[in-house]
């Protein structure tokens, strides 16, 4: 995987707010691998979940892999954050 720099990360965040599935997926990759940000399983699950809702098949697999390593409280938090994000950015 290519290294994600801070400028790319900022662009992914802007694109995610516009509902671009690939940006949501890339944010999941960044947070799950620590590329440009610290590893954050809850954030990664949130982004992969949002990408999966937008039809990114690979995001479903990544989300499921992360969920296997998370406790139920972490998964619930990630799902809550995804719902909140969807309520703010209704694209």
**For residues 22 and 28, is the Cβ–Cβ distance under 8 A?**
no
How many separate helices (H) and strands (E) can be counted in the chain?
Answer: 5, 0
Question: Is 3 a residue whose pLDDT tops 70?
Answer: no
Structure confidence at residue 7 (pLDDT)? 80
Structure confidence at residue 6 (pLDDT)? 73
Question: Is 81 a residue whose pLDDT tops 80?
Answer: yes
pLDDT tens per residue across span 28-80: 999 999 988 999 999 999 999 999 999 999 999 999 999 999 999 999 999 99
pTM comes to 0.91
Structure confidence at residue 89 (pLDDT)? 85
Structure confidence at residue 23 (pLDDT)? 96
């Amino acid at each position: 995987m290519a290294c994600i720099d801070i400028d790319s990360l900022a662009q992914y965040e802007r694109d995610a707010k516009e509902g671009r599935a690939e940006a949501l997926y890339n944010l999941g990759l960044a947070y799950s691998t620590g590329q440009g940000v610290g590893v954050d399983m809850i954030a990664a699950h949130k982004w992969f979940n949002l990408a999966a809702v937008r039809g990114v098949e690979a995001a479903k697999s990544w989300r499921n892999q992360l969920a296997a390593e998370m406790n139920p409280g972490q998964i619930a938090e990630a799902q809550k954050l995804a719902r909140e994000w969807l309520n703010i950015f209704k694209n």
